[in-house]
Amino acid sequence: MNIIVKTKGYLRKIIGKENIEFISHAKNYMTATFFTKALAFISVPIFTRLLTPDEYGILAIFTSIISISTILMGLNFHGSVARYYHEEEKNFGEFISSNILFLFLFNVFSFSLINLLKNEISSLINIDVDVFIIAILVAIFNIPINMFLSYLQTSKQSEKYSFLSVSKSIIMLVISIIWVYLLSEQRYFGKIYANLVVSSVIFIIAIIYFIKLGKLKFKFKYVKYSLAFGVPLIPHALSNFILSYFDRIAINQLTGSFDTGLYSFAYNVGMIMNVVVMAMNKAWVPIFYDNIKNNNYREINELAKNYSKYIFLAAFSLILFSKEIVMILADERYYKALDLVPIIILSYVFVFLYTLFGNYSFYRKKTGLISIATLLAGFINIGLNYWLIPKWGYIAAAYTTLISYFFLFVFHYINARFIIKENVIKLKNILLNFVLILLFAGIYFVLFNFIDSFIIFFIIKIFMFVLLSFYFFKK
């Protein structure tokens, strides 16, 4: 026992108190993120078998309404929590109570206005009025919850943060499955009601916790602080929403919830690539920052070339085995969505390319330029969706996503190279590898249409994967 205690003490001295603390909190946040992402992924094959594509599409619109309503009605106040906490911790209770009271009044007014227009809005986006109103209520509940999570994070209560996030995901998933299973018709309401119940309970917990922080007071200076911080970020948040969710709203509005369900399923499968990109970007950013700080541009170029190989290989692997992934995650009712998955995966390759050059703006604190680029890509996405979906159906939305993210990459490249005038990563070697991936993907699609034998085609795919892996890692 003494040996263990001494070993721990020795390790603490070597690693350092600050690093031990960082590792401890990072472990909790990573655990929470892993579990919530894993549960979301596990839920896909469950709900695709319990729900029809039509019902799955309605849930996708329900989630989209929650996302945009949380942005607009929350005014990004949750972001100001962390900033203010580190500036004026002693008055934090007054700050929270002032913001909560303001948001309560603002949301009462907003909900009253929305309720007057609920029939017109729900008709415009082609969704049931009850689904629309419940989504607004969930969004209102989520606003203090987001502020509560932000408070737990900034006050270094990572264990509570992790526990709350994981518990919410597990409870909501279990209740949703049971409720959906028990309903004989309109089964999607099981997930909607579960979301409402769980969110309302955590909303109450958050409010009680905030009340304990200090007496209920209202001082407009705290609200003014949060408005100045949060409102300017709304365009950026809305642009991200447009790029991630607007296509589903457009499909539902123009062609119906059945197509929305098929597209949402394909998008959820393709989102695996986004998880890979975001995870690798978190590892890349500190390496990139260290090297750019020391003007190691040659090192950045070499590392970026190698970094891109992992992304391209991951993308090609997901494209190769997208059929098998779809067959595992859903039944034959959703197989029509298979053709869209590779397009969405390629879209997230451009997200990788965008982050590669967008990181220059983040490093130089040129966040306004980031918002402009995201807004432009968002407007392109809206325009293309309303132009192409009526002509080509929901399939067009996958291509509009690809085009929008391509332009997002182009905008950030132009910004980094010509506006900020950085010594940017050379595109030549990276794009040559990307072209190779596109060539292999093209071969895959040709073979897909000519080879009927599953076993023969699977063996060819394994061979293609090994060949490309050998080429990348040998170089």
More confident residue, 393 or 13: 393
On the 0-12 / 13-18 / 19+ scale of CB atoms within 10 A, 43 is middle
* Residue pLDDT, tens place only, 425-449: 888 878 888 888 888 888 888 887 7
Q: How confident is the model at residue 89 (pLDDT cuts 50, 70, 90)?
A: low
Q: How confident is the model at residue 72 (pLDDT cuts 50, 70, 90)?
A: very high
Looking at the structure, tell me whether residues 228 and 259 fall in a common domain: no
Q: d(Cα 303, Cα 284) in Å, to the nearest integer?
A: 9
Q: How confident is the model at residue 10 (pLDDT cuts 50, 70, 90)?
A: very low
Q: Is the pLDDT of residue 11 over 60?
A: no
Cβ atoms < 10 Å from Cβ of 17: 9
Q: Where does a domain end: 185, 205, 234? A: 234
Q: d(Cα 88, Cα 94) in Å, to the nearest integer?
A: 10
Cβ atoms < 10 Å from Cβ of 160: 17
371 inside domain: yes
142 inside domain: yes
Looking at the structure, tell me whether residues 290 and 391 fall in a common domain: yes
Q: Is the pLDDT of residue 4 over 60?
A: no
Looking at the structure, tell me whether residues 224 and 343 fall in a common domain: no
For the chain, how are helix, strand and coil distributed in percent, rounded to 5? 90, 0, 10
Predicted pLDDT at 348? 92
Mean pLDDT of the chain: 85
Predicted pLDDT at 383? 94
Looking at the structure, tell me whether residues 230 and 262 fall in a common domain: no
For the ranges 57-66, 117-126, 168-177, 237-246, which has the lowest average pLDDT? 237-246
* Residue pLDDT, tens place only, 313-329: 999 999 999 888 888 88
Contact yes or no for 310/280 (Cβ under 8 A): yes
Predicted pLDDT at 469? 85
Q: Is the pLDDT of residue 16 over 50?
A: no
Looking at the structure, tell me whether residues 160 and 281 fall in a common domain: no
Q: d(Cα 250, Cα 246) in Å, to the nearest integer?
A: 6
21 inside domain: no
Predicted pLDDT at 21? 54
Looking at the structure, tell me whether residues 56 and 157 fall in a common domain: yes
Q: Collect all residues with Cβ–Cβ distance below 8 Å to 292 and sequence separation of at least 6.
A: 300, 360, 363
Domain that holds residue 142: 43-234
Q: Where does a domain end: 204, 234, 264? A: 234
51 inside domain: yes
- CA torsion 262-266-268-273 (nearest 10°) is -170
For the ranges 111-115, 157-161, 265-269, which has the lowest average pLDDT? 157-161
For the ranges 334-343, 365-374, 431-440, 444-453, which has the lowest average pLDDT? 365-374
Looking at the structure, tell me whether residues 366 and 426 fall in a common domain: yes
- CA torsion 380-384-385-390 (nearest 10°) is 160
Looking at the structure, tell me whether residues 280 and 217 fall in a common domain: no
Contact yes or no for 109/279 (Cβ under 8 A): no
Handedness of CA 406, 407, 408, 411 (dihedral sign): positive
Give the residue-averaged pLDDT of 218-234: 85
Q: Is the pLDDT of residue 14 over 80?
A: no
Percent of the chain at pLDDT exceeding 70: 91
- Tell me the pTM: 0.80
The token pair that represents 194 in the structure block: 């579960």
466 inside domain: yes
Q: d(Cα 454, Cα 227) in Å, to the nearest integer?
A: 58
Q: Is the pLDDT of residue 15 over 50?
A: no
Contact yes or no for 319/345 (Cβ under 8 A): yes
Cβ atoms < 10 Å from Cβ of 464: 18
Looking at the structure, tell me whether residues 372 and 322 fall in a common domain: yes
Q: Tell me how far CA of residue 185 lies from CA of 55, 57, 189, 377, in angstroms.
A: 10, 15, 9, 39
Q: How confident is the model at residue 295 (pLDDT cuts 50, 70, 90)?
A: confident
Q: d(Cα 246, Cα 385) in Å, to the nearest integer?
A: 9
- Comparing CA positions, the residue from 61, 408, 67 lying closest to residue 234 is 67
Angle at 443 between CA 437 and CA 446, to 5 degrees: 140
Handedness of CA 392, 393, 397, 402 (dihedral sign): negative
The token pair that represents 200 in the structure block: 């309302």
5 inside domain: no
450 inside domain: yes
Q: How many domains does the chain have?
A: 2
Looking at the structure, tell me whether residues 227 and 82 fall in a common domain: yes
Query: In the chain, how long is the greatest CA-to-CA distance?
Result: 74
Q: How confident is the model at residue 138 (pLDDT cuts 50, 70, 90)?
A: very high
Q: How confident is the model at residue 288 (pLDDT cuts 50, 70, 90)?
A: confident
Predicted pLDDT at 218? 86
382 inside domain: yes
Cβ atoms < 10 Å from Cβ of 57: 29
Q: Where does a domain end: 205, 234, 263? A: 234
Predicted pLDDT at 422? 81
Looking at the structure, tell me whether residues 193 and 306 fall in a common domain: no
Q: Is the pLDDT of residue 350 over 80?
A: yes
Q: How confident is the model at residue 111 (pLDDT cuts 50, 70, 90)?
A: very high
* Residue pLDDT, tens place only, 241-260: 888 888 999 999 999 999 99
More confident residue, 206 or 276: 206
Looking at the structure, tell me whether residues 205 and 165 fall in a common domain: yes
Highest mean pLDDT among 3-17, 344-358, 437-451: 344-358
Predicted pLDDT at 25? 57
